[in-house]
Amino acid sequence: DVKVTQSSRYLVKRTGEKVFLECVQDMDHENMFWYRQDPGLGLRLIYFSYDVKMKEKGDIPEGYSVSREKKERFSLILESASTNQTSMYLCASSPPGGRGHEQYFGPGTRLTVT
Amino acid sequence: GQNIDQPTEMTATEGAIVQINCTYQTSGFNGLFWYQQHAGEAPTFLSYNVLDGLEEKGRFSSFLSRSKGYSYLLLKELQMKDSASYLCAVNPGTYKYIFGTGTRLKVLA
């Protein structure tokens, strides 16, 4: 049974804090993604990675960075959290090639920045 | 630009059939996906279309017309547990996936 896990379901942080969101998949997938999901805006891609140590910016990378030191783990970092980063964060993975393959999503982390 | 449109909300009755439409305009096309997302949960994969026509999977079917940039998800014999958001997504031929904002379906008893 395929599995994508995220480190926290709910997280509350203060403005200016550095925040780490962790994602782990056990499917040996090359591709991993970080999205944020906001009402009325759908899923927006923040960053993705197609191999270890490889990363590419998505549509809304500002204020975020990522790290992929191991194939199974993809971390999202908020360097200095701001209230407009309050959102649901979803991690996903997909098999190699990135084309024509469905994505497998983690349960999500609901982050609140106060 | 790249765009996916789907209705915001739909309501249907238990046991009925509902069709959720999706239109897209993307720079390329390497398949269209439908996901189901229950409130507070992760999206789960429902169907994939890359060629024109209808794909059937039990109570769910998905149709694609590439020339029209159009797809629909058909849900038959609706059940209360089908109340969820349905997301349309297109892979334009790169690593990225473009998502619509989702259609929230309410199934009434």
Distance from the Cα of B94 to chain A's closest Cα (Å) equals: 7
Three-class DSSP category at B80:
helix
- Let me know if A47 is exposed, middle or buried by CB neighbors in 10 A (0-12, 13-18, 19+): buried
Mean pLDDT within A88-114: 87
pLDDT band for position A85 (cuts 50, 70, 90)? very high
Q: Which of B3, B95, B98 to mutate to test the interface with A (most CBs of A within 10 A)?
A: B95
Measure CB to CB from residue B43 to each of A56, A100, A105 and give the nearest one: A105
Assess whether pLDDT exceeds 80 at residue B68: yes
Q: Is A52 on the interface with B (CB under 8 A)?
A: no
Assess whether pLDDT exceeds 90 at residue A46: yes
What tens digit of pLDDT does each residue of B23-48 get? Answer: 999 988 989 999 999 998 999 999 99
| pLDDT higher at A102 or B90 | B90
Separation between Cα atoms, residue A64 and residue A55, nearest integer Å? 12
Measure CB to CB from residue A100 to each of B87, B91, B96 and give the nearest one: B91
Separation between Cα atoms, residue A76 and residue A41, nearest integer Å? 20
pLDDT band for position B95 (cuts 50, 70, 90)? confident
